[in-house]
Amino acid sequence: MTALSGAASLDSLKETLRHRHDRRGGRAYVLARWAAAGLFVAVLLGLVVSIAIDSSQAIAHSGIGFLWSGTWNPAANQYGAGILVVGTVVTTGVAMVIVVPVGLGMAAFLSELAPRWLAGPLSMAIDLLAAVPSIVVGLWALLVLSPVFANHVEPFFKSIPVLEWLFHGPAYGPSILLASVVLAVMTLPTVVALSRTALSGVALADREAAMALGATHWQVIREVVFPGARSGIAASLTLAVGRALGESIAVAMVIGNNPSVPHSLVAPGATLGSAIVNQFAEASPGIGTSSVIALAAVLLVLTLAVNAGGQAMLRGMGPGRPARVRKTRVAQ
Amino acid sequence: MTEDPDAPASEPAGASDGARSARYSSTRTPASVALEAARASQPPAPDSEPAVTLESLKVSFGGHVAVRNVTLELPARQVTALVGPSGCGKTTVLRAINRLHDHTGGRVEGTVRLGDIDVYAPDTDPELVRARVGMVFQRPNPFPTMSILDNVTSGLRFNGVRNRALLREAAEAALRHAALWDIVKDRLNQTALRLSGGQQQRLCIARALAIEPDVLLMDEPCSALDPVATAKIEDLIAHLATEVTIVLVTHNMFQAARVSDNAAVFLLDEDRVGELVEVGPTVEIFDSPRHERTKQYVTGHVG
Amino acid sequence: MSRAGDSVAVPAAAGDLDESQAQLGWAARERRRPIIQAAARRTLRRRRLAGKLVQALCVLCAAIGLAPLVALVYYTADRGLPGISLSFLTNAPVPEGVPGGGISTAIAGSAEIVGLALVMAIPVGLLAALFLHERRGRLAAGIRFGADMLTGVPSIVIGIFAYALLVRPLHHFSDLAASFALAVLMLPIMIRADEEAMRTVAMDLWEAGVALGARRSRVARSVVLRGALPGLVTGNLLAVSRGVGETAPLLFTVAAPSFAMTLLIYTDGTQPFPSDQQTAWATALVLLMFVLILSGLARVVAWRLTRRAR
């Protein structure tokens, strides 16, 4: 070891010590690191490639019209994802109709209205809901909710004259409505947790400025807190949509597996995810299986697109970002 | 809870304030010269009724007392500076005036009177108190999701004013009073965040002025700004004081000397609780303070 | 633009501090002020009422949001508990109609599948996280992005992937394929959680000056790992609790439903027979308890982590 003379020597000493430390097991470690990274990349690529390859047969058979063709009838050798995409969008849409008010309302409650001793445990409870396995939610929905829906909920909606067009037809339980409720239950924690973070993140200074002008508590929340949390809330909703699009097993258990145009919310239907679950076992090898895999490909593209958007929004959630401002709307 | 509509006071013209013209002023800008001339001919001279009265005010957080024994009258249409080192309760006292402690968990005892309204009476609505008192904070805080115009009119809209003509008129008046109109009049629809720090603070002042408050509370409004912006705002303060009572918290003795008519000195007592040591015309506080501690504080900071 | 009641014109090119304007302003102020105060007073009741109404709605939403969790736990416990017994947990399944069967195969099977998946995922996740933590550059950014994307891929698609890769070519189902699917599912979660844990610790150490002037990227690896251990444990526990509860990836890979708990719940739960449904409930209860305990454990570790650090 050289004699220490001046800062330069001290630095080079540190450098030597560091190198010695890092070099211990160095080569093998660097190799392992690269192997892990490479393996991960291989998995990513493999996912896309293998699904693409295995669905090629179906595309060859049905043509590119597979994507929007309205018929899914294995018996007649007709495969089209269109009807399933519609079902996916409808169930997710109805789920969002439920989740947006309930989720935002709950997030507002937790962030703005609840006393601290209540907000903590409640937030934890909602996170626990996120941890419940989807199969358990599906089981509960199938065996507990479905009879309740068939006997009480769906007749109730049917009795409201204004909504008759939405809820007409026989109601046996398994339905688009039930599936949507299941999706709502499963995506609620995402919306509540992220929105709550966004709402709490609004600066105290902005709130106090509004208060000092004579705003009531609710006015502060409506005019300052919610607008300030816009991007975080948007991110949470987008991610929730992404999750809802891909949920398969719970939906498959309660949607009734009927790939036809949904004419009523209480009728059975089918989504991409539920079709994959329900049709896979019976799919005829070759075209049939390939078509089911092609459904997975469509689902993959759909969820990737939505999630990419959601992640981008999450990253843009930082403070101080000037929001796009609407043209002035003075009064009225 | 009754309140008299404010009537323009009828004072004899030419009643200039001796204290103001003799105030320490390191700069005599053309604006401040014009200002004093304007004041000399201004009909509404300071009222005899104080705008805000504090009696035995005591504020505590949890068990800890932040400031106590504050008895103070804030004369109408004058600038009163609350001065003293940090942590002596100046901001706490300021925020007690518009009941901002309702939300921070501070406990306020004693009396705060706004004109003849008991601010903390059980039947007094805090929102209405706040609609009569404007506040400007330490760091400029325009609402980030609103345009400049919406920012200025926000207080009016919160209070239920919907008449578009009135909103437009009040906004323009407020922006002119804040010396901002010419700068922003062509971009009222743009976001407020593109303005510079000093401009944003003036926007916040305009926002507070738009609701036509009786009192304007300013909590170290220049502490986050550069000297040029600070000078502009100090000019503004002197100008605004002809129409609005201003309570200014500042730790900058020079600033107090430049802009205030009266000064209230806050220091920590032996129990490390904030207390009001002395209050009076700024000139006296600087030249001939009555208390030893005031003298020590002032001479430590000035000259 | 008309100004109601204002008969004086505003001078166009006046400076902002023009004293004549200040005088004008005074008169106009005196006119505006009472209007504003009156509006404030008049609307206060309505504003407050609206606030109270919305508050009530938010409380309602919170109750509605909480209801599913309560209902889930209640019904699962209520219907599953009767079926749970020591023999249920330790016996192997028996043919239809014969009493005394159990789900031991399923429990063991799930444990095996998840265990193997962890063996695959944990080391790869850790090393990949170290890769991301220690290297800058576009490759690292790309991998990070890929991990974020992969977390959003539906589990059914991952199951299809495992099927396409490991079942179809080999022409038979296998636990290996199932474990692979779960590993792929858990991997991106672990990578991001691991990296985040490391980053927080490294920043803390750097800020505390412990690293003796070293740049952040140079903080010794072993020091970071030791410090990040609680965070790593939390992140991995959460990933595991997610993997344990998955069904879709197992659908196309596992040989028989009795080999995994989640699959068993699915096949038995969709049967019309009460005894099968009973088994499904009981299994669901076991699974739910396990997952909740795992999540709870992760939370406790995270809580103690933040306590110790602060």
> Is the separation of the CB atoms in A222 and A194 below 8 Å?
no
| pTM metric for this prediction | 0.83
Cα A332 to Cα B107, B161, B167, C14, C45, distances in angstroms: 39, 9, 11, 32, 19
| CA A145 to chain CA mean position, Å | 22
Please name which of C245, C79, C280, C114 lies closest in space to residue A129, comparing C-alpha atoms: C245
> Is residue C9 over pLDDT 50?
no
Q: How far is A259 from chain B (nearest CA, A)?
A: 45
Mean pLDDT over A32-45 rounds to 92
| CA B272 to chain CA mean position, Å | 26
Confidence of residue C296 (pLDDT cuts 50, 70, 90): confident
Q: How far is A229 from chain B (nearest CA, A)?
A: 10
Confidence of residue C257 (pLDDT cuts 50, 70, 90): confident
Confidence of residue A13 (pLDDT cuts 50, 70, 90): low
Q: A75-110 burial, b for 16+ CB within 10 Å, e for fewer?
A: eeeebbbbbbbbbbebbbebbbebbbebbbbbbbbb
Q: What is the CATH number of the domain that holds A121?
A: 1.10.3720.10
Quote the pLDDT of residue B269.
87
Check B160 against C40: CB less than 8 A apart.
yes
C270 touches chain B (CB under 8 A): no
Quote the pLDDT of residue B193.
92
Please name which of A41, A302, A292 lies closest in space to residue C160, comparing C-alpha atoms: A292
Q: Is the dihedral of CA A274, A275, A278, A280 positive or negative?
A: negative
Q: How many domains does chain B have?
A: 2
Of the given ranges (B291-300, C8-17, C223-232), which has the lowest mean pLDDT? Answer: C8-17
Summarised one tens digit per residue, pLDDT across range A306-316 is 998 888 888 77
B114 plus B223 within the same structural domain: yes
Q: How far is B7 from chain C (nearest CA, A)?
A: 7
Quote the pLDDT of residue C17.
47
B205 plus B238 within the same structural domain: no
Last residue of a domain, one of B182, B212, B242: B212
- Residue B118's domain comprises 18-132+215-301
Quote the pLDDT of residue B49.
79
Summarised one tens digit per residue, pLDDT across range B157-181 is 999 999 999 999 999 999 988 989 9
Whether B174 is covered by a domain: the verdict is yes
Q: What is the CATH number of the domain that holds B68?
A: 3.40.50.300
| CA C227 to chain CA mean position, Å | 23
> Is residue A96 over pLDDT 90?
yes
Whether B6 is covered by a domain: the verdict is no
Check B235 against C17: CB less than 8 A apart.
yes
Summarised one tens digit per residue, pLDDT across range C94-141 is 776 666 677 888 888 899 999 999 999 999 999 999 888 888 788 889
Quote the pLDDT of residue B31.
52
> Is the separation of the CB atoms in B218 and B237 below 8 Å?
yes
B225 plus B89 within the same structural domain: yes
Quote the pLDDT of residue B10.
36
Whether A41 is covered by a domain: the verdict is no
Quote the pLDDT of residue C93.
74
Whether B1 is covered by a domain: the verdict is no
Check B212 against C2: CB less than 8 A apart.
no
Quote the pLDDT of residue B12.
36
Check B169 against C30: CB less than 8 A apart.
no
Confidence of residue C219 (pLDDT cuts 50, 70, 90): low
Whether A181 is covered by a domain: the verdict is yes
- Residue C303's domain comprises 104-309
Last residue of a domain, one of B171, B188, B212: B212
Whether B73 is covered by a domain: the verdict is yes
- Cβ-based contacts of A81 with chain C (< 8 Å): none
Check A223 against B141: CB less than 8 A apart.
no
Whether C19 is covered by a domain: the verdict is no
**Type of residue found at B248:** L
B116 plus B37 within the same structural domain: yes
Cα B232 to Cα A209, B222, C15, C21, distances in angstroms: 22, 10, 14, 18
Confidence of residue C265 (pLDDT cuts 50, 70, 90): very high
Q: In 10 A of CB A34, how many CB atoms? A: 14
Q: How many CB pairs under 8 A join B and C?
A: 98
B250 plus B275 within the same structural domain: yes
Last residue of a domain, one of B186, B212, B238: B212
Mean pLDDT over C48-59 rounds to 95
State which residues of chain B have pLDDT below 70.
Answer: 1-47, 301-303
Whether the ipTM is more than 0.90: the answer is no
Q: How many domains does chain C have?
A: 1
Whether B284 is covered by a domain: the verdict is yes
Check C37 against B3: CB less than 8 A apart.
yes
B169: closest chain C residue by CA: C3
Summarised one tens digit per residue, pLDDT across range A178-230 is 999 999 999 999 999 999 999 999 999 999 999 999 999 999 999 999 999 99
Confidence of residue C87 (pLDDT cuts 50, 70, 90): confident
B85 plus B165 within the same structural domain: no
Whether A322 is covered by a domain: the verdict is no
Whether C2 is covered by a domain: the verdict is no
Give A131's contacts (C-beta < 8 A, 6+ positions apart). Answer: C241, C242, C245, C291, C292, C295
Whether C38 is covered by a domain: the verdict is no
Listed by number, the residues of chain A in 124-163 with a beta carbon closer than 8 Å to a beta carbon of chain C are 124-129, 131-140, 142-144
The shortest CB-CB distance from A140 to any of C72, C220, C247 is to C72
| Residues in a beta bridge with B218 | B136, B248
Best of C69, C186, C234 to disrupt the A interface (most A CBs within 10 Å) is: C69
Listed by number, the residues of chain C in 105-124 with a beta carbon closer than 8 Å to a beta carbon of chain A are 123-124
Q: What is the CATH number of the domain that holds C204?
A: 1.10.3720.10
Please name which of B101, B181, B125, B121 lies closest in space to residue B149, comparing C-alpha atoms: B181
Three state DSSP letters for chain A: CCCCCHHHHHHHHHHHHHHHHHHCCHHHHHHHHHHHHHHHHHHHHHHHHHHHHHHHHHHHHHCHHHHCCCCCEHHHCECCCHHHHHHHHHHHHHHHHHHHHHHHHHHHHHHHHCCHHHHHHHHHHHHHHHHCCHHHHHHHHHHHHHHHHHHHHHHHHHHCHHHCCCCCCCCCCCCHHHHHHHHHHHHHHHHHHHHHHHHHCCCHHHHHHHHHCCCCHHHHHHHHHHHHCHHHHHHHHHHHHHHHHHCCHHHHHHCCCCCCCCCCCCCCCCCHHHHHHHHHCCCCCCHHHHHHHHHHHHHHHHHHHHHHHHHHHHHCCCCCCCCCCCCCCCCC
Quote the pLDDT of residue C12.
39
B115 plus B162 within the same structural domain: no
Check A106 against C221: CB less than 8 A apart.
no
Quote the pLDDT of residue A274.
92
Is residue C228 packed enough to be buried (19+ CB in 10 Å), middle (13-18) or exposed (0-12)? buried
B125 plus B244 within the same structural domain: yes
Mean pLDDT over A130-157 rounds to 90
- Residue A276's domain comprises 64-315
- Cβ-based contacts of A320 with chain B (< 8 Å): 144, 193
Whether C49 is covered by a domain: the verdict is no
Best of B139, B158, B223 to disrupt the A interface (most A CBs within 10 Å) is: B158
C303 touches chain B (CB under 8 A): no
Rounded to whole angstroms, how far apart are CA atoms B233 and B252?
A: 14
The shortest CB-CB distance from A206 to any of B128, B143, B189 is to B143
C63: closest chain A residue by CA: A106
Quote the pLDDT of residue C220.
66
More confident residue, C174 or C99: C174
Listed by number, the residues of chain C in 188-247 with a beta carbon closer than 8 Å to a beta carbon of chain A are 191, 212-214, 218, 220-222, 241-242, 244-247
> Is residue A320 over pLDDT 50?
no
Q: How many domains does chain A have?
A: 1
Confidence of residue A60 (pLDDT cuts 50, 70, 90): confident
Copy the structure tokens of residue B281. Answer: 């015309």
B127 plus B230 within the same structural domain: yes
B203 touches chain A (CB under 8 A): no
Whether A17 is covered by a domain: the verdict is no
A222: closest chain B residue by CA: B158
Check A131 against C295: CB less than 8 A apart.
yes
Quote the pLDDT of residue B26.
43
Whether B32 is covered by a domain: the verdict is yes
B148 plus B236 within the same structural domain: no
Q: How far is B45 from chain A (nearest CA, A)?
A: 26
B221 plus B297 within the same structural domain: yes
Three state DSSP letters for C182-246: HHHHHHHHHHHHHHHHHHHHHHHHHHCCCCCCCCHHHCCHHHHHHHHHHHHHHHHHHHHHHHHCC
Q: How far is A142 from chain C (nearest CA, A)?
A: 8
Give A45's contacts (C-beta < 8 A, 6+ positions apart). Answer: none
